Structure 1
Amino acid sequence: MLTSKISKVSKVVICGAKGVGKTAILEQLIYGNVTIDSELHSTIEDTYVASVDTGKGSRDMLRIYDTAGLQGNVQLPRHYLLYPDAFIVVYDPSDPASLDMLAGIKSDIDKYKEKKEIIIIVIANMRSRNPRTVGTSANNDVSTNGNHLNHHINSSNQMSSSDRIESNLNRANNWCARERIKHYTVNAMERASLYEPFVQLAIRLYPTQTKSSFQLRQLTGQKASRVDNS
């Protein structure tokens, strides 16, 4: 694997709302050292190089530009829209605002891509979260029945949160289907879940080159006719 031939480098921009886990995804994918306790600072701008094995005998290189998270009406800076071969747009399915940004980012990409064919994929980052117990210190003195009620409220909140995530994932699936964009669900804490979107992206950026058998037969026929005429 270490002796695999390295081909050209494709440029990829990863973007999305602030705090959706873009940097965690890249750090986990490339280094595998991210845990739930890892402290990752807000990104201003950073660059990663990923060597992806797509099973073709050569490793395809992706130069990935990590961008600052977007907030409110802030748009992706124009210089990021001019040079990439592909975009990875990340959102958090528990945060509807991060999902709402997808259409705006896609619109900006379309505006500046001119006639160049740009690949876009969308990643839902299902980040692990430990729900906090509902209640305040004043509830510590309630009766057993009160504790049971708190437990019921907590369970209901978890269920509604799960339903909300499912609803946002369905919205994203429907939007991606209309826009003909690949949609992947990952968890930045689980490295294995990150492989598929990046391998599939590399395959699309580096399609297998096939030689035309028609041209080969045509050339062979020409050579044969010349021999016959001599």
Structure 2
Amino acid sequence: MHPTIADIYVASVDTGRGGARETLCIYDTAGLQGEQQQLPRHYLQFPDAFVLVYDPMDPRSLDMLADIKADIEKHKEKKEIPVVVLANVRARAAPNPVEKVMDRANIWCQRERIKHYTVNAMERPSLYEPFTSLCARLHPMQTKSTFPQLRQVMQNRQKSEA
């Protein structure tokens, strides 16, 4: 059974920073099928990040990412939205065509300043690094308190412990 455009998944991600796990709500669009070459507008306006997936065996899927990225840029309303690209490589992929498509993807991702990862969606450990990195960007570790009173308490505590 293939996911539909409305499938929603929830993931709990450990960023490795020793704090609480971060929760991601993932809207799976299941790719763009047939005549539909653009994501619906509401998918472009509200997300905090985008994970774009392509099949290195199908060069057209990489070409579609450029159009999706252009739509994201057009609708992001001046806010920084992290984007990562995943090459979903299946175990029995033919090396030459896959390498050419992935080389093109690497060049495009470097030009667009997007992180590019090679994963196999059927092997869960291959997905850890991209989603951990994405969570770390979405939820950066807070270094200073925005509350002056709390900052003063923390400074006093550090002085008394020294």
TM-score per shorter chain, which class? 0.7 to 0.9
Query: How far apart in 2 are the matches of 1:125 and 1:47?
Result: 20
CA RMSD of aligned residues (A): 2.0
Whether the 8 Å CA contact 2:3–2:28 is kept in 1: the answer is: no
Q: Which residue of the partner structure matches residue 55 of structure 1?
A: 16
Please give the secondary structure, in 1, of the residue aligned with 2:56: coil
Distance 1:68 1:188 in 2: 13
Tell me the TM-score normalized by structure 2: 0.83
- Specify which of 173, 176, 188 is matched with residue 121 of structure 2: 188
CA–CA distance in 1 between the matches of 2:4 and 2:54? 16
Alignment: residue pair count: 147
Deviations 1:108-127 (A, max 9, x none): 00000011111100000002
Does 2:96 align with 1:163? Answer: yes
Equivalent residue, structure 2, for 1:136 = none
1:76 corresponds to: 39
Aligned to 2:160: none
8 Å contact kept, 2:2–2:30: no
Q: Which residue pairs with 1:200 in the alignment?
A: 133
**Which is greater in Rg?**
1
Query: What residue number does 2:156 align with?
Result: none
Give the secondary structure class of the aligned counterpart of 1:58: coil
The answer to whether structure 1 residue 113 and structure 2 residue 76 are counterparts is: yes
Q: Are the equivalent residues in 1 in contact too, given 2:10–2:23 (CA < 8 A)?
A: yes
The CA distance in 2 between the partners of 1:207 and 1:44, in whole Å, is: 30
Determine the C-alpha separation between the residues in 1 that align with 2:47 and 2:14.
21
Contact 1:128 1:189 (C-alpha < 8 Å) held by counterparts: no
CA contact (8 A) 2:3 2:29 kept: no
Residues 9 and 26 in structure 2, CA contact (< 8 A), matched pair in contact too: yes
Q: Counterpart of 1:43?
A: 4
In the TM superposition, structure 1's runs of 4+ consecutive aligned residues that sit over 6 Å from their partners are: none
- Distance between the aligned counterparts of 2:53 and 2:143, measured in 1? 33
Could you tell me which residue of structure 2 aligns to residue 26 of structure 1? none
* Whole-Å separation in 1 of the counterparts to 2:47 and 2:127: 21
> Following TM superposition, by how much is the alpha carbon of 1:43 offset from its aligned partner in structure 2, in angstroms?
2.1
* Separation of aligned partners in 2, 1:68 and 1:191: 18
Match of 2:90 in 1: 127
* 1:122 partner SS: strand
- For structure 2, the residue ranges without an aligned partner over 5 or more in a row are 154-162
Asked whether the equivalents of residues 55 and 88 of structure 2 are also in contact (C-alpha less than 8 Å), the reply is yes
Q: Distance in 1 between matches of 2:134 and 2:54?
A: 18
In the alignment, does 2:29 pair up with 1:67?
Answer: yes
Name stretches of at least 5 consecutive residues in structure 1 with no aligned partner.
1-39, 130-157, 221-230
> Aligned pair 1:178/2:111, yes or no?
yes
Secondary structure in 2 matching 1:165? helix
- Distance in structure 2 (CA, Å) of the matches to 1:211 and 1:164: 49
Alignment partner for residue 64 of structure 2, among 82, 88, 101? 101
Between 1 and 2, higher relative CO (CA 8 Å, sep ≥ 6) is seen in 1
